Amino acid sequence: MDDDYKLLIDLHKQGYRQGPGRDAETEQALNLAMIDRAAPLKVADIGCGTGASALLLARLLNAQITAVDLLQDFLDVLNERAESAGVADRISTLACSMDNLPFANEELDIIWSEGAIYNIGFEKGVAEWRRFLKAGGLLVATEITWLTDSRPAELQKHWDSEYSEIDVASAKIRILEKHGYSPVGYFALPEQCWLGQYYRPMQARFEDFLKRNGHSEEARAIVAAEQQEIDLYEIYKAHISYGVYIAKRTE
| Positions in the binding site for ligand SAM (CB under 6 A) | 17-19, 21, 47-49, 52-53, 68-71, 74, 97-98, 114-116, 119
Q: Are 40 and 109 in contact (CB under 8 A)?
A: no
Query: At its nearest, how many Å lie between ligand SAM and the CB of residue 111?
Result: 12
Residues 54 and 52: their CA atoms lie apart, in Å, by 6
DSSP characters over 51-100: -HHHHHHHHHSSEEEEEEES-HHHHHHHHHHHHHHT-GGGEEEEE--TTS
Q: Which of 196, 100, 147, 25 is nearest to 155 (CA)?
A: 147
Q: Among residues 18 and 241, whose Cβ is nearest to ligand SAM?
A: 18
* CB closer to ligand SAM, 68 vs 240: 68
Q: Which is nearer to ligand SAM, 6 or 211 (CB)?
A: 6
CB of 3 to ligand SAM, least distance (A): 16
Q: In terms of CB distance, is 163 or 206 closer to ligand SAM?
A: 163
In angstroms, rounded to a whole number, what is the distance separating the alpha carbons of residues 243 and 140?
A: 10
In the complex, least distance from residue 98 CB atom to ligand SAM, rounded to whole angstroms: 4
Strand, coil or helix: 187: strand
Q: Which residue is nearest to ligand SAM (CB)?
A: 49
Shortest spacing between CB 80 and ligand SAM, in angstroms: 16
